[in-house]
Structure formats: C-alpha cells, structure tokens
Amino acid sequence: MLGYGNDSIKFIPYMKKRLNRLYPLYFISLIFGALYMIFVLDLDMWHTIIKAPVFILCLQTLTPYTSATGFNSPAWYVATLLWIYLFFYWFSKANQFKWGGDFCMR
Amino acid sequence: MGGGFLYAIIILSVQPLLKQTELITWIYYFSPYTRVLDFLIGVSAALLYKRYPLKIKSKLLMTILEALSLLLVIVCIIYESQIHYIFIVGIIFALCFYIFGQEKGYLSEYFALSIFRKLAKYSYSFYLIHYLVIMSMVKTLNLQNGLTGFNILMSIVMFVISALLSYILQEFTHKLKLPFTIQQSKA
C-alpha cells in the first residue's frame, strides 16, 4: 500500500521474492501430502496424480469447484496468499495514490 | 485503498444474509477474493505503524496495552467459531501487531528474545507439516478421542516429529538454489 505510485518495484522481482519464501516448502508439503493420500488414506494413485497440477499451480482456492484442503489441508493458506500478493501488486499499481515509501512491496 | 474498503463493506454486509453452505465457506474462508480484506487490514496496520507510532512513554502502560491486546487475541482464538465476521479476527490481530511492533513494553521485549526469533523462523514449516504428521499418526495408530495417557504421549511424539521435520525442511529449503531465487548482489 505504501508502494502506491512507486514504479521502481517491478513485478518479476516482487513475485520472485515471495515465491522464494513460500513456494519451496509448500511444494515439499504437497509431496508429503501426496504420500499421505496414497499410503495412509489408501487413495488411488492416479486419481491423486491427476489432481496434483491444481495444487502445484496453487489453483485450489481460486474456484469453489476444487477441494481447497486437498493434499495438505493447511496449504490452502499459501495458495490464497500467493494470489493475494498477485492481486495486491496490480491493485497498488492501478491506484496512483502517493502514499510515500515502499516497504510493503519489498 | 478506498476501493478496497468499499469492496470490503459490500462483501461483508451481505454475509449475514447468506446461509452457511460449502460455497459460502469457500467465499468467506478460502477464496483470495475475500481474504484480500484481511491482507488489507494488515497493510493498514503497517501504514499506521509507519506513519502514526504510539507516543506513549510509560513502559508500564505499554505493557498493559500489550497484555490487553494479547488477551484479546487469545479470546479471539478460543471463540473464533462464534465470530460471524471473520475480518474482526484480522482487526484484533492487526491491533496486537501494531502495539507489539512499538517494542516499548516488557512483553514485546520478552518476545524479542533470540529463542522466539528462532521459533518464528521455523513456524512456517511447522504450520505446513504438523497436519500431515498428526493425521498420519492418528490414522496409522487408529487413535481415538480422549484425554488418556497414551494420547498425551502420542501428542508429545507428534509435536517432536513435527518440530524435527520442520527444522530439517526449513534448513533444506533455505539452502536450495531455485530458478526463482534472487541472487544477493555483493556489496
């Protein structure tokens, strides 16, 4: 929000920084989640693999048609947060208020 | 910002009119379209913190404020299911962070100890892994509800496994060189 009107913050570094912080652990937790679904819950392996791209791409919370809590239940939060980061970047760029500073975008 | 709050008012004002269904749970709990409001509350708290720091000099008064805000957070966590407007939780947490962010009371001084900083470092991996550890053990050992000695022992085991896994995963991912890793430039 404090980054309103600050053009020095570019989209790619902004998202890279957030992905670097959140995604690696999220991805590993999905692998653990898949193992849990296959070996503990005895779910069909192919059924699990087919659903995997939705969770890998963090799409599970974008629509109500997929289970947001599949694979690893708490991981929905990371998916939602990454989308919010994305919205926030465009939202802050679209609104040309000059709030000064840019620490929220760093 | 104004648009964000207008959007918030519209979304929140219709919430009591809606029946609790899976779709409504998705809209108000999981979806980024609604949860962005919590994010904006956090951003507003950061703005307040940056632009309007508390000018209270008394350490005792600040400690009381810290204790009260922490108490509010605890009450909020206990009674979360009875809070109809989920954004209230966000406001209470933001208030707590705003007060603790001032670092002027005894409690914030205590929570700034290095042990808490270290715990914070592993909290994200703990959050992501704890559910899988708990559910795997509950399903594998067929644990039943109840405050039995065995269940208490298993809870401790679950905690220890989650903590160890969190530590290993955090350290492992910290060292990873990923395609989207930003290389630190040398000064």
ipTM confidence = 0.84
> If contacts are CB pairs under 8 Å, which of residues 72-91 in chain B contact chain A?
none
List CB contacts (< 8 A) between A41 and chain B: 139
Query: 0.90 cut: is pTM over it?
Result: no
Residue B113 confidence (pLDDT): 93
pLDDT digits (tens, 9 = 90+) for B54-81: 999 899 999 999 999 999 999 999 988 8
Residue B175 confidence (pLDDT): 79
Distance in angstroms (rounded) separating the CA atoms of residues B36 and B44: 12
pLDDT digits (tens, 9 = 90+) for B138-179: 999 988 888 889 999 999 999 999 999 999 999 998 877 666
Residue B177 confidence (pLDDT): 64
> If contacts are CB pairs under 8 Å, which of residues 23-52 in chain A contact chain B?
23-26, 28-29, 32-33, 36, 40-41
- Using the predicted structure, report yes or no on whether residue A5 has a pLDDT greater than 50: no
Nearest CA in chain B to A40: B136
Torsion (CA) A68, A69, A73, A75 in degrees, nearest 10? -20
- The DSSP H or E segment spanning A32 is helix A11-35
List chain B domain ranges.
1-112, 114-175
Asked whether the beta carbons of residue B44 and residue A73 sit closer than 8 angstroms, the reply is: no
Residue A100 confidence (pLDDT): 43
List CB contacts (< 8 A) between B173 and chain A: 24-25, 28
List chain A domain ranges.
11-94
Distance in angstroms (rounded) separating the CA atoms of residues A68 and B121: 26
Using the Cβ of B137 and the Cβ atoms of chain A, whether some distance falls under 8 Å is answered with no
Higher model confidence: residue B88 or residue A25?
A25
In terms of Cα–Cα distance, which of A100, A75, A79, A92 is closest to A11? A92
Mean pLDDT of chain B: 87
Residue A79 confidence (pLDDT): 96
Size of interface A-B (CB pairs under 8 A): 103
The CA distances from residue B74 to A62, B41, B67, B93, B159, in Å, are 30, 19, 10, 10, 21
Least CB-CB distance to B180: which of A20, A32, A68? A20
- Using the predicted structure, report yes or no on whether residue B112 has a pLDDT greater than 60: yes
> If contacts are CB pairs under 8 Å, which of residues 66-105 in chain A contact chain B?
68, 72-78, 80-81, 83-84, 87-88, 91, 95, 97, 99, 101, 103-104
- Using the predicted structure, report yes or no on whether residue B93 has a pLDDT greater than 60: yes
Nearest CA in chain A to B129: A29
Give residue A91's pLDDT band: very low, low, confident or very high (50, 70, 90): confident
Residue B108 and residue B100 in contact, taking contact as beta carbons nearer than 8 Å: yes
List CB contacts (< 8 A) between A1 and chain B: 1, 40, 43-44, 46-47
Residue B178 confidence (pLDDT): 64
Residue B8 and residue B91 in contact, taking contact as beta carbons nearer than 8 Å: no
Torsion (CA) A43, B125, B26, B8 in degrees, nearest 10? -170
Neighbours of A46 (CB within 10 A): 8
pLDDT digits (tens, 9 = 90+) for B8-36: 777 777 776 777 788 888 888 899 988 88
Using the Cβ of B148 and the Cβ atoms of chain A, whether some distance falls under 8 Å is answered with no
